[in-house]
């Protein structure tokens, strides 16, 4: 079981908001929201109380301009900021469903201007204590109301980070197109085991994944759907240097993105040259279709 109370977080409200999880056998996850408000002390107070008054508390309230953090209830129990989807109580899916309301607007992704500090690092450490991987299983949250991915099969089965825009049965598009790479880069340290292999930790099985095609496969002029599938996985892992794409033609942006992945896996220097090797490739789990 992970950290219930983030060290240093202010306590908000009564300290009790939800209850036990309905599906603790499913992987733990995070849901990012934006309050569609300004930030600063006044907003923290006003919006913080508003969420109590409408019974829509997350576990965590965060101000990206000051790194201030508050907590309504333990991360080990449910919050109340998601609508249900049919009979599925979304707030209670997973061993944990950690919801974070960021004082920001979806139309102005907060990772473009936010100033992460010790409270953000404490938040990420608490998230990782639940074994939640540094990954967005449905990719970068939506840029607009249209185009939100909300596949129930992904939501119910994959651990990681989601936007409110990715939750089935919900119609909000927050938190907007935040940059996963900046979120994870602001939280130095080791991502949870089971998702790290640079140090020899276990990785999940590779059934259904593209086998390592060999480093020589990745060369100028290579055109293959494997390159597109690889690029999509890199984006989902927050390792994107793409200005457009990813696409089937192996190029410099693929190489720079893959370097980010190698660094995330703990490699550095010439071991993070952007050319896929077997260990990082298998950890990336590029799907066959």
Q: Which is nearer to Zn ion, 12 or 210 (CB)?
A: 12
Q: Which is nearer to Zn ion, 147 or 188 (CB)?
A: 147
Q: Which is nearer to Zn ion, 98 or 210 (CB)?
A: 98
Q: Tell me which residue of 175, 37, 184 sits closest to 109, measured CA to CA.
A: 175
Contact 14, 20 (CB under 8 A): no
Stretch that binds Zn ion, among 26-34, 232-240, 258-266, 276-284 (CB under 5 A): 26-34
CA separation, residue 256 to residues 234, 251, 263, 275 (Å) = 10, 9, 11, 9
Helix ranges restricted to H, the chain: 41-53, 118-128, 152-157, 180-185, 225-236, 252-264, 278-284
Q: Which is nearer to Zn ion, 134 or 174 (CB)?
A: 174
Q: How far is the CB of 101 from Zn ion (least distance, A)?
A: 7
Neighbours of 53 (CB within 10 A): 8
Stretch that binds Zn ion, among 20-28, 56-64, 163-171, 189-197 (CB under 5 A): 163-171
Footprint of Zn ion on 164-183 (CB under 5 A): 164, 172, 174
Stretch that binds Zn ion, among 8-16, 160-168, 246-254, 262-270 (CB under 5 A): 160-168
Q: Looking at residue 162, what DSSP letter applies?
A: E
Q: How far is the CB of 179 from Zn ion (least distance, A)?
A: 18
The answer to the question of residue 150 lying near Zn ion (CB under 5 A) is no
* 85's tokens: 């989807």
Q: How far is the CB of 164 from Zn ion (least distance, A)?
A: 3
Footprint of Zn ion on 209-238 (CB under 5 A): none
Contact 103, 46 (CB under 8 A): no
Q: Tell me which residue of 183, 46, 172, 181 sits closest to 103, measured CA to CA.
A: 46
Q: How far is the CB of 103 from Zn ion (least distance, A)?
A: 12
Q: How far is the CB of 80 from Zn ion (least distance, A)?
A: 11
* 45's tokens: 């107070």
Q: Which is nearer to Zn ion, 150 or 195 (CB)?
A: 150
The answer to the question of residue 33 lying near Zn ion (CB under 5 A) is yes
Q: Which is nearer to Zn ion, 33 or 89 (CB)?
A: 33
Q: Which is nearer to Zn ion, 33 or 195 (CB)?
A: 33
Please give the Cα distance from 5 to 61 (Å, whole number): 13
Q: How far is the CB of 33 from Zn ion (least distance, A)?
A: 3
Q: How far is the CB of 65 from Zn ion (least distance, A)?
A: 19
Please give the Cα distance from 262 to 250 (Å, whole number): 17
Q: 13 - beta bridge partners?
A: none
Residues that bind Zn ion (CB under 5 A): 33, 164, 172, 174
């Amino acid at each position: 079981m992970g950290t219930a109370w983030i060290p240093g977080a202010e306590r908000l409200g009564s300290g009790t908001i939800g209850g036990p999880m309905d599906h603790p056998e499913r992987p733990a996850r995070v849901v990012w929201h934006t309050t569609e408000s300004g930030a600063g002390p006044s907003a923290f107070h006003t919006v913080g109380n508003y969420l109590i008054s409408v019974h829509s508390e997350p576990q965590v309230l965060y101000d990206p301009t000051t790194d201030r953090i508050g907590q309504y209830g333990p991360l080990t129990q449910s919050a109340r900021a998601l609508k249900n989807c049919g009979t599925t109580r979304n707030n209670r899916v997973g061993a944990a469903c950690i919801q974070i309301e960021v004082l920001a607007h979806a139309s102005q992704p907060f990772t473009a201007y936010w100033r992460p500090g010790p409270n953000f690092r404490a938040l990420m450490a608490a998230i990782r204590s639940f074994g939640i991987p540094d990954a967005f299983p449905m990719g970068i949250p939506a840029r607009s109301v249209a185009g939100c991915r909300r596949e129930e099969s992904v939501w119910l089965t994959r651990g990681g980070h989601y936007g409110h825009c990715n939750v089935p049965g919900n119609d909000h598009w927050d938190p907007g197109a935040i940059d996963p790479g900046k979120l994870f880069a602001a939280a130095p340290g080791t991502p949870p085991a089971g998702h790290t292999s640079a140090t020899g930790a276990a990785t999940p099985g590779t059934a259904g994944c593209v086998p390592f095609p060999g480093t020589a496969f990745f060369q100028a002029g290579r055109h293959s759907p494997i390159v597109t599938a690889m690029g999509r996985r890199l984006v989902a892992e927050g390792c994107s240097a793409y200005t457009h794409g990813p696409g089937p033609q192996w190029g410099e942006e693929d190489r720079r993105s893959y370097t980010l992945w190698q660094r995330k896996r703990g490699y550095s220097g010439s071991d993070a040259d952007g050319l896929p090797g077997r260990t990082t490739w298998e950890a990336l789990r590029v799907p066959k279709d």
